[in-house]
Amino acid sequence: MGNRIALRATLNSVRVKICGITRVEDAQAALAYGADAIGLVFYDKSPRFVDIGTAQAIARVVGPFVSVVGLFVNASPAEVQVTVSRVGLDLLQFHGDEDELFCRQFDRPYIKAIRMLPGLDIEAEAKHFACARGLLFDSWSESKYGGTGETFDWHRLPDNIEKPLILAGGLTPDNIEKAVLETKPYAVDVSGGVEVAPGIKSAALIDRFIRRAKNAQNHTRSQERSL
């Protein structure tokens, strides 16, 4: 499985990002149950969109060792820059048709979403984003840039991507253990799978999702040690 396995084998635990946070109390729940990152959506066509003021309030409750990630879809450079400066984002996530030149101009590390269009040359697409800190693989939809609630065929994930692999798309507390065991990702990203309504998270679902993701990784390490 090449370089990706070598990278994953050094990790203590899969990272978990709870995306689409719209309320301070949901951010606090994510932090309480061990999330490594929270995601704020700055795409106004999303039901999980947050304005600058709401984002600032959420970011203020996040501790120094949890990343605040800003998600953008085909935003203007000015919009991204203003949001970065006013909210204090740690990491940028680009989910639209942005190219490498666009993504790297904001003096922040970034990850790029690759939506798994049938027939996509995934390795070629990944090479377009040499400066990305990681690549997020999500389900394809003709009408949405994310948040589809659908999984994709995890067997399509390439084995020789050298960057951290972030798995998204239709993840829930019910399938996250299987997802981690099968793909061994650097991180997983969930939004709708821990919600009771679009943008409204469930603390109980967040807790269950994170526990099962971490437990699956622990099971994987136990198996590796026994070989």
What's the rounded Cα separation, in Å, for the pair 44 and 17?
21
Residues 6+ apart with CB under 8 A from 132: 100, 103, 110, 111, 112, 163
Percent of the chain whose pLDDT exceeds 90: 74
Q: Catalytic site residues?
A: 19, 138
Average pLDDT across the chain, whole number = 89
Instruction: Read off the pLDDT of residues 68-119 as tens digits, 9 standing for 90 and up.
Output: 999 999 999 999 999 999 999 999 999 999 999 999 999 999 999 999 988 8
pTM above 0.85, yes or no: yes
Instruction: Say if residue 198's pLDDT is above 70.
Output: yes
DSSP structure string for the chain: -THHHHHHHT-SS-EEEE----SHHHHHHHHHTT-SEEEEE--TTSTTB--HHHHHHHHHTS-TTSEEEEEESS--HHHHHHHHHHHT-SEEEE-SS--HHHHGGGSS-EEEEEE--TT--HHHHHHT-TT-SEEEEE---SS-SS-------GGGS-S---SPEEE-SS--TTTHHHHHHHH--SEEEESGGGEEETTEE-HHHHHHHHHHHHHHHHHHHHHHHH-
Instruction: Read off the pLDDT of residues 45-66 as tens digits, 9 standing for 90 and up.
Output: 999 999 999 999 999 999 999 9
